[in-house]
Structures are given as structure tokens and as C-alpha cells.
Amino acid sequence: AVKIAGTETMWVPASAMYPATTNGASAVQVQTTAVRPDIKALDFLANTNQFAQFSVAFPKSWNAGTVTYQVYWSPGGTNTGNCIFGLQGISLADNDTIDQAYGTAVLITDAGIGAQKKQQISAVSGAVTIANVGDSKQTYFQFLRDATAGADTFSSDARVLGIKIFFTTDAANDA
């Protein structure tokens, strides 16, 4: 069987993200019911912009183009307001200075469903342009909740379970 080039996905669970040193989200584990799935998440507060970071090494078959993402989360409260999330990234090669600014964040809005401990999956975002993109680089991402934006009306913590990143390959393998 031969792999066909095209859209691929990459799952990044909350447990693979770490709270940023400044305004970091809080890592939590919330029990639903004993011996049923626990919620392992990052809590993003309602009134403060908060951040989490992670990095990935894309496969060589990645076309080094834009990516999109989808947020998997669970409401920390029962309201139905809008929650605004964002993603930004930068790619760095061997001997690059890591202390560089991320590319522009691309935001996505998802409305709370009005019940705690429920699974929510956002729509797919618009295209995220990664700064300094290129082959054979490590890509650093920053995920955020833009809680101070006037349009973020979700008045509870947003428990982010993870994000799915969509990227495009232009080769059948990494040879």
C-alpha cells in the first residue's frame, strides 16, 4: 500500500502542553465518576488571557505550509457564552536562537454548551501561518484563550483537553 500525500492530522493532548511561565493555564485532573474517564486538561480562566506551549517536529513530508486546528474542550461551568481560543507558532532550525516571537495568533470562537463535564469540539480554524517555517525544523506553538476580548463571553474556566492540528503533506513518505 502506498500512502497518498494530502491532509494529515496530529493530536496534541493537554498533557503534552505545558503552562507558559507568564500567565500559564493550570494543569488539572477532574474526576467524572469513580473508575470512569477523568478529565486531564488545562484550565484557562474566564477573566485573564492565559497560555500553554508545546513543540513538535513535523514529518519531512510536510509541505511547510499553513496549518489549521480544532479545539477539544469541556466547560468548567454551565453558561453558553462564546470562548475564544488562539494558536500561533514559530519554526527553528539548528543553531537558531529560540528566543523569538511567535507568528500571529489565529483565533477561533466556540460557544459553551451549558453543561459541565461535556465533550466539546470546535470547528476547524482558519489558516495559521507559522513564522520562520521550513523543513527539518522544530516548531514551537503557543495556544491561548483570549479571555479579555469583548467577544469572549464564556464566564467559566475552559478545560482544554487537547487540539488536533491539520497539516498538508506533499510526499508519500519521509525518504
What does the pLDDT look like over 22-39, one tens digit per residue? Answer: 999 999 998 989 999 998
Contact, 157 vs 77, CB < 8 A? yes
Grid coordinates representing 133?
A: 517555517
Contact, 42 vs 27, CB < 8 A? yes
Residue 105 CA to its chain's centroid (Å): 11
Mean pLDDT of 46-63: 95
What pLDDT is attached to residue 175?
A: 83
pTM: 0.95
What does the pLDDT look like over 13-25, one tens digit per residue? Answer: 999 999 999 999 9
Angle at 14 between CA 76 and CA 152, to 5 degrees: 45
The more confident residue out of 134 and 124 is: 124
What pLDDT is attached to residue 174?
A: 86
Q: Assess whether pLDDT exceeds 90 at residue 136.
A: no
Q: What is the mean pLDDT of the chain?
A: 95
What pLDDT is attached to residue 1?
A: 60
The single residue listed with the C-alpha cell 488539572 is: 28
Mean pLDDT of 93-111: 97
Mean pLDDT of 137-153: 96
What pLDDT is attached to residue 69?
A: 98
